[in-house]
Amino acid sequence: MPASRADNAARTGTPTAVKPALRIAISILLTVSFIWLFARRFDVRAATAALRAASPGLIAASVLVTLLAYLIRAWRWRVLMAPVKQRVGMYNLTSTMFIGFMISFIVPFRIGEVARPVLLARREKVSTTATLATVALERLFDVMTVMALLLVFVLTSRGAALMASHGDGSAAGQASVYLRRAVVATGVLVAVALPLVIVLVLFPKQVTRLLHRLHGKRHGAAARLTGTVEKLIDGLGVMRHKRHLAESIALSFAMWLVIDASVLLGLRAFDLPLRFTDMFLLIVPLGAGIVMPTPGGVGPYEYFCQVSLTGFWGVAQASAGAAAITLHAVTLLPTIVLGLFFMWQGGVRPAEVRKMAHISSS
pLDDT band at residue 9 under the 50/70/90 scheme: very low
> How high does pLDDT run on average in the chain?
81
- Please report, rounded to a whole number, the percentage of residues in the chain having pLDDT higher than 90: 33
Lowest mean pLDDT among 109-113, 169-173, 316-320, 352-356: 169-173
Q: Which of 28-37, 280-289, 332-341 has the highest mean pLDDT?
A: 332-341
Closest CA to 66 of 262, 333, 286: 262
User: Over 70: is that where the pLDDT of 2 sits?
Assistant: no
Task: Summarize the confidence of residues 284-308 as an average pLDDT.
Answer: 89
H, E, C per residue of 21-85: HHHHHHHHHHHHHHHHHHHCCCCHHHHHHHHHHCCHHHHHHHHHHHHHHHHHHHHHHHHHCCCCC
Q: Is the pLDDT of residue 51 over 50?
A: yes
- φ/ψ of 81, rounded to 5, equals -80, -10
Record the pTM: 0.82
Point out the least confidently predicted range of 20-24, 78-82, 242-246.
Answer: 20-24
Count, in order, helices (H) and strands (E) of the chain. 16, 0
Instruction: Give the pLDDT score at 109.
Output: 74
At 190-237, the pLDDT tens digits run: 667 767 776 776 677 787 777 777 766 666 666 667 776 776 676 666
pLDDT digits (tens, 9 = 90+) for 160-196: 887 776 555 555 456 556 656 666 676 676 667 767 7
Q: Using the predicted structure, report yes or no on whether residue 113 has a pLDDT greater than 50.
A: yes
Lowest mean per-residue pLDDT among 176-180, 243-247, 249-253: 176-180
How confident is the model at residue 291, as a pLDDT? 86
**Portion of the chain with pLDDT greater than 70, in percent:** 76
Residues 252-258, mean pLDDT to the nearest whole number: 97
- pLDDT for the residue numbered 62: 97
Residue 47 pLDDT exceeds 90: no
The confidence band for 21, taking pLDDT boundaries of 50, 70 and 90, is confident
123-152 burial string, b = 16+ CB within 10 Å, else e? Answer: bbebeeebbbbbbbbbebbbbbbbbbbbee
Contact 284, 150 (CB under 8 A): yes
Type of residue found at 315:
V
What are the extents of the domains in the chain? Answer: 56-357
Q: Which of 96-100, 109-113, 153-157 has the highest mean pLDDT?
A: 96-100
- The DSSP secondary-structure symbol of 227 reads H
